[in-house]
A and B are shown apart, each in its own frame.
Chain A
Amino acid sequence: MENLKRLFENNRSIVAEVTQADPEYFARRAGKQEPHFLLIGCADSRVPIETLTGVAPGEMFVHRNIANQALSADINVLSVLQYAVEVLDVKHVMVCGHYQCGGVKAAMGDQSYGLVDYWLAGIRDTVRRHDFELQRIASSEERFKRVVELNVLRQVYNLSRTPVVQGAWSRGRRPLLHGLVYDIHDGLLKPLVLQVDGNDKARELLETPRASIGD
């Protein structure tokens, strides 16, 4: 209870501080939201992207799940995507992975974790598909990082194939898809792939997985 109480206390003091500086701060944001960004990130508690990018409330639409996946059968992420693209008209859709991702780690091993194994099956598939490349990476730490990156690229590709994005692209060059990775060690966001705005660029995501511009 101690910890929970702290949340409410913090909340009250933060609100008090903000409204003192700007009394209309919350009232202004109660109206229509017009965010420019959709972020699909990991549920991991060590990845506070909104805080680290300095976006204000109302600027970023967020969806988080284990291992930042955009699966074509997941009605949750598809609903978020459709609402963000077709109703909120966001310009940027970002998939953000992070090193030391527990979900990715689980998918790389043989251990069984129960229900979540179903959810992680896609990443297991990515690992197997890139087996040749991954086997040549000597350091297991580096191999782990590479799977995190490959997973981000895979999810950006998945997004590009959804009817929502295909439909939007058929009418123009929006939204732009981006793949990012968050380095949990130094707190920095690194771009993997930027400005995917059509099927040609989306196809390259899978054809040249080495195009990673990470580290």
Chain B
Amino acid sequence: MARVSWTEGVVRRLIEAPKGVERSLRATVRAAPELASSWRHDLPASVVVFLVALPLCLGIALACGAPLFAGVISGMVGGVVVGALSGSQLMVSGPAAGLTAIVVTALASLGSYEAFLAAVVLGGVVQLALGALRAGGLGAYFPSSVIKGMLAAIGLILILKQIPHALGYDEDFEGDESFLQSNSETTFSSLVAAFEHIEPGAVVVSVLGLALYFAWDASPLKKLRLIPVPLLVVLLGVALNAALRGFAPNWTLGGKHLVELPQLNSWADATAVLVHPDFAALKQFETWRVALTLGVVASLETLLSLEATDRLDPYKRLAPPNRELAAQGVGNIVAGLLGGLPVTGVIVRSAANVDGGARTKLSAILHGVLLALAVVAIPGLLAQIPLASLAAILIYTGFKLAHPRHVLQLGRQGATQLLPFLITIGAILFTDLLVGIAIGLTAGLLFILFEHSRQPCFEVVSPPGAVLCRIRLHEHVSFLAKPTLARFLGTLANGSRLEIDATRAKHVHHDVRELIADFRETALLRKIDLRLVGLDLPPSASAH
């Protein structure tokens, strides 16, 4: 015995040594950046995220039927409060398109926005509780192919939804991720309509913006990393629109083609905009139902975003999910108290953050501060930005997320990876983010179950043709092994002999034990000589 374990030890040491070396190499190559030294990267990134987030905040608030300012408030809270408390360095939180459907129905069922705010606060408490119950670990069960599919789908959605904006057809709100849009059009009908209503000015702005993006990427200037390209694209858009005003007044973009903001002229204006929750609504059962739905769905969306952001992180840092749930909970409590929409982690913003070169959470926090400053200080300036410029930025982000290389990569890993990936993309594109992910997760888990149920749970150790068929159960015999084992037991001839050796099995699922216990009864009837080695069986269901 001692000799066996000694050789095992040597073998293990030989096998594991290279892994250890690899690990220490990785640690030295990619040291996590320090907050103090990375502000030079985080500051420009925060400007990018701010520029992406501002129209999204307003658009989602519009789609929810909530005050426009509520979207900006939750953008600020998502940046400053959640950003400060979160353990994630790169995820950016704020109002999410994935929650709009819930918000719209909740507003209708609760009757008032103030009552809804009480549910948002309560939803935050639910998230705090989920964090305390360590529900964040569930995020680790999202299959990788589904998360990659989700990212690619979001990329495609960004492209498809932004093309109308790029062409100057600004009917749907920014940030709508559903196939059936709030303006009773679908993504595709909207695309068709967009091509019928082309604004030449918008095309000039978006095409030149995209050209600048790709040209910058291909040029050596990219390596400078000093100037954020999205900022250049925005400045180019503003400049182009100003130029159009002089040279081709008909093509000038105005009104709904530019970023729209509520004008705040004084502190009194700002406080007048703030709405406070009506806690009398807590007496209604409906408020609790909405709070629970918000808490659970916002947590799911956050965990998915967290998984996705961890994957995009060039430093491969892993954020603690339970701390994230707690941070989101506090964020929603604060958002609800200030009159904001519920917040979640948002992949689009996080992706823009990573793309913008962010290294630490300073970027997320600063974007919240910038949102607050911008709304108060420069609403007039922001209103100069053409939506087509923002469309160019988002199309580029979408292109990077949905790059064909991802499909090829998954294709190489086989159908069990590629199919959940494609199903997730399809489901998200034709429904919305949450329903699509639910379908994708189901498909992904089914593929995993399928893959596992095909793994052998036992091996036949006797030579073929032996009078006694001996099978040895593997170390772990899961529930999934049941059909395979049942099929095998069914193939045994009457009067044959079978030995089931479980001495090496550390865990045999109860249902498998029950199957064997039932088979013991069948074996008696079929005159099968069944011998069990090292297996405790529950009493057979048919035994009386």
Q: Which residues of A contact B518 (CB under 8 A)?
A: none
Knowing A171-B499, A171-B503 are in contact, say whether A88-B467 is a contact too (CB < 8 A).
yes
Q: Is the CB of A172 within 8 A of B467?
A: no
Q: Complex: how many Å from CA A165 to CA B499?
A: 16
* B-facing residues in A81-139 (Cβ within 8 Å): 86-89
Q: Is A6 an interface residue (CB 8 A)?
A: no
Complex: how many Å from CA A174 to CA B466? 16
- A172 B465 Cβ-Cβ under 8 A: no
Please determine whether B499 and A34 come into contact, CB atoms closer than 8 angstroms.
no
| Cβ–Cβ contact A87 & B497, under 8 A | no
Asked if A89 and B467 sit within 8 Å, CB to CB, the answer is yes
Within 8 A of B (CB), among A164-215: 170-172
With the chains together, A139 CA to B42 CA distance in Å?
107
Q: Do A89 and B533 touch across chains, with their CB atoms under 8 A apart?
A: no
Kindly list chain A residues whose C-beta atoms are within 8 Å of the C-beta of B468. 86-89
Q: In the assembly, what is the distance between CA of A172 and CA of B533, in Å?
A: 7
A87 — nearest CB in chain B belongs to which residue?
B466
Q: Please indicate the chain B residues that have their CB under 8 angstroms from the CB of A28 in the complex.
A: none
**Residues in B whose Cβ lies below 8 Å from that of A5:** none
Indicate whether B220 reaches chain A with its CB closer than 8 angstroms. no
* A86 B462 Cβ-Cβ under 8 A: yes
Of residues 294 through 317 on chain B, the ones whose CB sits less than 8 Å from some CB of chain A are none
Which secondary structure dominates chain A's binding surface?
Answer: loop
Is A12 located at the chain interface by the 8 A CB criterion? no
Q: How long is the Cα–Cα vector from A185 to B468 in the complex, in angstroms?
A: 39
Tell whether A32 pairs with B467 under 8 Å between CB atoms, given A86-B462, A87-B462, A171-B501.
yes
Docked complex Cα distance between A32 and B467 (Å): 8
Q: Is B531 an interface position by the 8 A CB rule?
A: yes
Contact of B463 with A89 in the complex, beta carbons under 8 Å: no
Q: Is the Cβ of A171 less than 8 Å from the Cβ of B533?
A: yes
Select B463's contact among A32, A87, A170, A171, beta carbons within 8 Å: A87
A148–B463 Cα distance when bound, in Å, is 36
Q: Which of A19-73 contact B (CB under 8 A)?
A: 32, 34
CB distance from B38 to the nearest CB of A (A): 62
Q: How many residues of B contact A (CB 8 A)?
A: 13
Which residues of chain A are within 8 angstroms of B467 by Cβ–Cβ distance?
A: 32, 34, 87-89
CB distance from A206 to the nearest CB of B (A): 24
Q: Which of A32, A87, A172 contacts B531 (CB 8 A)?
A: A172
A86 to chain B, nearest CB (A): 7
Chain A residue with Cβ nearest B497: A89
CB pair B465 A32 closer than 8 Å: yes
Q: Measured between C-beta atoms, what is the minimum distance from B535 to chain A in Å?
A: 11
Cα–Cα, bound, A171→B535 (Å): 11
A86 and B503 alpha carbons, distance in the complex (Å): 17
Could you tell me how many residues of chain A have their Cβ less than 8 Å away from some Cβ of chain B?
9
Please, which residue of chain A has its CB at the minimum distance from the CB of B499?
Answer: A171
Query: Measured between C-beta atoms, what is the minimum distance from A130 to chain B in Å?
Result: 33
The 8 A CB mask of B455-487 against A (1 = contact, 0 = none) is 000000011011110100000000000000000
CA distance A32 to B503 in the complex (A): 29
Bound form: Cα–Cα A172–B499 in Å: 10
- A86 near B466 with CB under 8 A, answer yes
Bound CA–CA A32/B465 (angstroms): 9
Q: In the assembly, what is the distance between CA of A89 and CA of B466, in Å?
A: 8
Q: How far is the CB of B533 from chain A (nearest CB, A)?
A: 4
| CB contact list, B526-542 vs A, under 8 A | 531, 533
Give complex CA distance A88, B467 in Å: 5
**Which residues from 96 to 114 on chain B have a C-beta closer than 8 Å to any C-beta of chain A?**
none
Minimal beta-carbon separation of B528 from chain A (angstroms): 13
* Alpha-carbon distance between A34 and B499 when the two chains are bound, in angstroms: 16
Q: In the complex, which residues of chain B have a beta carbon less than 8 angstroms from the beta carbon of A87? A: 462-463, 465-468
Enumerate B488-510 residues with CB–CB distance to A below 8 Å: 497, 499, 501, 503
| Min CB gap B530→A, angstroms | 11
User: Which residue of chain A has the shortest Cβ distance to B534 in the bound complex?
Assistant: A171
CB distance from B471 to the nearest CB of A (A): 12
In angstroms, Cα B446 to Cα A203, docked, is 56
Q: How many angstroms between the C-alpha atoms of A208 and B294 in the bound complex? A: 81
In the complex, how many angstroms separate the beta carbon of A30 from the nearest chain B beta carbon? 14
Interface centre among B462, B463, B466, B468 (most CB of A within 10 A): B468
Chain A residues in 8 Å Cβ range of B501: 171
Max chain A Cβ within 10 angstroms of own Cβ: one of B467, B470, B497 = B467
- The docked-state distance in angstroms from the alpha carbon of A171 to that of B470 is 11
**For B462, what are the chain A residues with a Cβ–Cβ distance below 8 Å?**
86-87
**Whole-angstrom CA separation of A61 from B275 in the bound complex:** 94
**Docked complex Cα distance between A171 and B498 (Å):** 12
Q: Which residues of A contact B463 (CB under 8 A)?
A: 86-87
Taking the closest CB of chain B, its distance from the CB of A153, in whole angstroms, is: 28
User: What residues on B are CB-neighbors of A89 within 8 Å?
Assistant: 466-468, 497
Looking across the interface, which residue of chain A has its beta carbon closest to that of B472? A171
A89 to B465, CA, bound (A): 12
Tell me the complex Cα distance, A87–B466, Å: 4
Question: A residues within 8 A CB of B470?
Answer: 86
Bound complex: CA A41 to CA B463 (Å): 27
Nearest CB on A from B532, distance (A): 9
CB distance from A29 to the nearest CB of B (A): 15
Closest A residue, CB atoms, query B495: A34
Task: Give chain B residues whose Cβ lies under 8 Å from the Cβ of A171.
Answer: 499, 501, 503, 531, 533
Closest to A174 in B: B531
Nearest-CB distance from A211 to chain B (Å)? 30
- CB-defined contacts of B533 to chain A, threshold 8 Å: 171-172
B497 to chain A, nearest CB (A): 6
* Most B C-beta atoms less than 10 A away, residue of A34, A88, A171, A172: A171
Q: State A86–B467 Cα separation when bound (angstroms).
A: 8
- The distance in angstroms between the C-alpha atoms of A199 and B468, with both chains bound, is 23
- Closest residue on chain A to residue B463 by CB atoms: A87
B30 to chain A, nearest CB (A): 51
Of chain B, the residue at the smallest CB distance from A90 is B467
- Closest chain A CB from B465 CB (angstroms): 7
Chain B minimum-CB-distance residue to A35? B467
Complex interface: chain A residues within 8 A of B497 (CB): 89
- 4 cross-chain pairs, A with B, having the tightest CB-CB distances, nearest first: A89-B468, A87-B466, A171-B533, A89-B467
| 18 A–B contacts, CB within 8 A, in A order | A34-B467, A86-B462, A86-B463, A86-B468, A87-B462, A87-B465, A87-B467, A87-B468, A88-B467, A88-B468, A89-B468, A170-B503, A171-B499, A171-B531, A171-B533, A172-B499, A172-B531, A172-B533
- Listed in ascending order, the chain B residues whose CB lies under 8 Å from chain A are 462-463, 465-468, 470, 497, 499, 501, 503, 531, 533
Given A32-B465, A87-B468, A89-B497, 9 other A-B contacts at CB below 8 A? A32-B467, A86-B470, A87-B467, A88-B466, A89-B467, A171-B499, A171-B501, A171-B531, A172-B531
